[in-house]
Chains A and B, each alone.
Chain A
């Protein structure tokens, strides 16, 4: 709570009360649940709506028509009113002649009726004043209702936007998952390129051999996307295809354009690169890897290449707590978490795959850059 602008050794209670009232007025002008409104507005709506400005015309109209009507005139009619006069003489004569008048007709009935009427008028006036008070209450109620409806409207819009956002993320994740599954299927099935390549060379770290592999891969690239998504699980136990993804970083430029074009965004499927990047740049090249990771993280924070790269990480089998884990979207998208969990649980079944996944993790974003 903000402090008041007074010195503690000279407390002015009225001044404090004025400040408190000003604060209350200020709050009510905005909204008394200002915090909620701001939380909502800060997320997405501040560009579209200013909650301070959201007011219904109803309130203004109500204010305009809320004039106080003066009480209707009334009179007090007592039993002496008929004979009353400001002139004493007249009053005296009337009093003297009163018995005579009563002989002629019964003035008491008239006096009584008029007295009753006066009372009825007073009661009506009282009711009217009560009505006025009620009107002001209604005004408050309607005012509050309008504020509530406004607030709910804002919240509703915000929730709609969140639902749309979640939908698009889900679609995106599904496409990404499909792509990854295709990649997984593709690697073991890329027979010709594997057969031509001597196995030891893949681990030799000889980058000079990467070029032919990349060229061969280019011709094979479309294949993964023609494979059924359910098959990779059965193919997983073939270790060589998965265990060396770190041995291809230099092959990035040779990533097959067609395969990359088929994926939704930023990243080329890591499996494709792994295949093409038969040349090995050992994982021991720590500085380069770290640099790439940094770049990749920056890219994620900047909103680029996040989703696909993450999924690539997961498919590459990054261990829990590794970069793959930290690649959860900064605002904690639960669907992304779920996707990562699924991918990890799959990869976790095969330690060989896990062990070689780290550099594969780096691959996607780097390619994207």
Chain B
């Protein structure tokens, strides 16, 4: 079986959620099928500047075919279009302009998909909101499997996305919340879909060493760990505010250790320590040494670091305003959530102070990870979906259901509601059943 994984960026040194997700899936499916990655030459997710050379290279044994982007992103233009389509009544054409402004627009990539539609049995398109997924999936709908990685942001309320969700062959959801949101937005219940998520390259038991981490970085006390980009979009500013305000009430000596690229200025305080980017070994050592993982992000379709923490038996404390994270905590029984300063203090104290709770949450997390996110489980879900689609193809032949795009006049008519308005009507909150 030949599979193509189509994603906006790809590389061993790219740690963005969807991109890492795509890499893990490609590398694991490569054990069962012939996998090729189709992507752009971009490395920076803000500018989409071509940094990798165009052509084919191998990353961890998987062939990667890179295509140049047509143009870099103009941030101001993108912001203007975003404001227009998210907040105002607009036309289908406006949304297409927004999509092009967002990038990474790579006509070469889409042309390659169209030209090689028969080469691959299925295309896995990652991230519904990008150019390659929208146009790529529309080009080969009968073979398109979408991994939407949808977050609860305005893009889900755009008028051009429901036909996409209804038109692909299958969807691989990251969480029940994501599935509910997409189904509510597009009424695509009849499209095959499964909640899969993603596994992680967890070290074997005993390989992650807390002592090694403490020796290497000179951290002796207890600490809560944040892993990821230190960015306002990830809720880090709120985390800093909450943590600094909570200091007098926090358990004695409990610090905050940050691991990741610094985009937001980090407060200069003796109990906050920034270690910068860490390689996997150090990252897992840090998790082993931490009392808990903090995940302050408002928007996540699936938190891989939370899964990694659970895999290592560590509880997590997440932002309760992110319904996915909150739902994960409730379903896994492996973490608490906060929405206010007071809740942050109390939940942090509960996890850090109450050792039995900490241990119980950690155990539950480990169990949850093994049941749902261990690689054999994930791989099997992908293989089952591929087998199901193959079976359907054999029975019914390839069917194309993608709705046609509006005509010349219709796409110019300002009939689409503001995306934010649509989003506000979608169901929210964690899915508990």
Contact = CB atoms under 8 A, between A and B. Distances in A.
Given A11-B333, A13-B335, A1 B343 contact: no
A8 B357 contact: yes
A23 B336 CA distance: 15
Interface residues of B, number: 21
A130 interface: no
Contact of A8 (B337, B353, B360): B360
A80 to B, nearest CB: 11
B366 to A, nearest CB: 13
A252 to B, nearest CB: 55
B414 to A, nearest CB: 9
B350 A12 contact: no
Given A1-B354, A3-B354, A23 B346 contact: yes
Listed residue (B337, B356, B361) with the most chain A CB atoms within 10 angstroms of its CB? B356
B359 interface: yes
B329 A13 contact: yes
A24 B343 contact: yes
Given A11-B357, A24-B342, A28-B342, A4 B350 contact: yes
Interface string B336-351: 1100001100110110
B330 interface: yes
A23 B249 CA distance: 14
A3 B351 CA distance: 11
Interface string A179-223: 000000000000000000000000000000000000000000000
B337 A1 contact: no
A109 interface: no
Nearest to B342: A24
Interface in B347-377: 347, 349-350, 353-354, 356-357, 359-361, 364
Nearest to A27: B342
A14 to B, nearest CB: 6
Contacts of A20: 336, 343, 346-347, 350
Nearest to B340: A24
A284 interface: no
Nearest to B360: A8
A9 B337 CA distance: 19
Contacts of B337: 13, 17
A16 B342 contact: no
A8 B334 CA distance: 11
A266 to B, nearest CB: 45
A8 B359 contact: yes
A11 B351 CA distance: 12
B333 A13 contact: yes
Given A4-B350, A4-B354, A11-B334, 6 more contacts: A8-B356, A8-B357, A13-B329, A13-B334, A20-B336, A20-B350
7 contacts: A11-B333, A11-B361, A13-B329, A13-B336, A17-B336, A23-B346, A28-B342
